[in-house]
Amino acid sequence: METRLRPLEKDLDKFPYPFRAPLKKLVFTKRLATLIAGRGCIHNCSFCNVRKFYSQPPGPVKRIRKPEMVAEEMLYLHKKRNCSIFFFLDDDFPLKPVNDPDWIRRFCDSLNQNGLKNQIMWKICCRPDEVEKDLFEMMKYYGLFRVFLGIEDGTDKGLERINKNMTVAGSLEGIKILRDLEIDYDYGFMLFQPSTTFTSLNTNLDFLRQICNDGYTPVTFLKLMPYYDTKVEKELSETGRLKITDGVRDYDFSSGPMNRYFQFVTDIFKEWLRHPEGVANLAGWGITWYSVYHYYFGHDSDVKRLKRNYKRILSNSNDFILNTLKELSVIFENEDHYGTGQNRLIETKKDICSKSRSFTCGMRKNLGSLLDLPLKHFFSKISPRYAHNFGNNYLIRS
């Protein structure tokens, strides 16, 4: 027996607040909570099944909460659960909903009326072409500090292929606005796709260098996975390229050299890119820690010096991984990995292990000094002669 799917509840504010386990501290005793301002997505990217999922039952594909109710939940979490940092998990944050173009203004007004201005920080997810200077300047004024951008591809042809309906120029403009406003960003980027060639790969690596070269954000990337009932999955299935193993959908690339290149770089950079203590993850959290310090403790000379050093480490790590990926692409494209290039591959593996340890150790040492700063400054006020005792061997764990 099969029953029809019930219609979607249009008013998400009818639902009670979710039951939450004790909130964890992020850094400097500041607690973190996740929440949503809405569900669904109006876009129709070929690799994503969110719209398809919400299109099955009767109801709108995008439902948005009242901005006042979202701010009310944040006030509750701030007052009752001592939460200061909020991560919105919406696939696409409601920056300018068609039915409520003033949503953000009302949301920021509600934060102000609830006394949350200068008390909380928040992060959202959106498309880079949705970033507008005036809008995000207002949002930063009320606590926005970080944005996850769905960039996905660094070529116009690639963006068209995955139906993003945006351009590289739009992505770069959105990134520039965030940088000018000193708002942090991380991003989603699918370096490996069914149509990837060594030419498109190197163009995308050049794009990543353009947005990451100064250490503003770490280099990271993924392989586009053909999720169930997406356009990409159907195309791969129709051409006989879809592979399903233990329920996991995957595919091979169109050339043997690209398959071997992907497997090699995935293996050697696995810890760098995916491990919780790897370079990419540690770098991203470190940037957040600096933003939290700046927001709640100010921007003194000590933290400016530490952040400059941190960005230098991150910039060097970005250069290393991008240069390595470029060099390896030449070896594999020329199918030299069995010949003279084999020794180079062995050296590269050793070099990556060494560099990974060096970069992560440098970041941890730097962040340890950052964690010490609040107590160091406290002692400098009440007992200056003790302040110099704070060093790299004495860490304040929050």
CA distance 162 to 338: 34
Residue 339: predicted pLDDT: 66
Q: Can you give the pLDDT at residue 392?
A: 44
At 385 the pLDDT is 57
pTM to 2 decimals?
0.92
Supply 87's token pair: 């991560």
- Residue 103's contacts (CB-CB under 8 Å, 6 or more residues apart) are 64, 67, 94, 95, 96, 97
Buried b (16+ CB within 10 A) or exposed e, 37-53: bbbbbebebbbbbbbeb
Closest CA to 187 of 140, 123, 262: 123
Instruction: Round to whole Å and give the CA distance between 374 and 362.
Output: 20
- Closest alpha carbon to 220 in 282, 167, 310, 313: 282
* The pLDDT value given to residue 397: 36
pLDDT in tens, the chain (398 residues): 788 889 999 999 999 999 999 999 999 999 999 999 999 999 999 999 999 889 889 999 999 999 999 999 999 999 999 999 999 999 999 998 888 999 999 999 999 999 999 999 999 999 999 999 999 999 999 999 999 999 999 999 999 999 999 999 999 999 999 999 999 999 999 999 999 999 999 999 999 999 998 999 999 999 999 999 999 999 999 999 999 999 999 999 999 999 999 999 999 999 999 999 999 999 999 999 999 999 999 888 999 999 999 999 999 999 999 999 999 999 999 987 676 778 889 999 999 999 999 999 999 999 999 999 887 665 555 555 555 555 544 333 33
Distances 249 to 223, 303, 315, 395 between C-alpha atoms, Å: 12, 46, 35, 45
For residues 374 and 212, give the distance between their C-alpha atoms in angstroms, rounded to a whole number. 29
What is the rounded CA–CA span in Å between residue 139 and residue 312?
28
Closest CA to 238 of 224, 251, 225: 251
Model pLDDT, residue 300: 87
Residues in the chain: 398
- Does residue 221 contact residue 190 with C-beta atoms inside 8 Å? yes
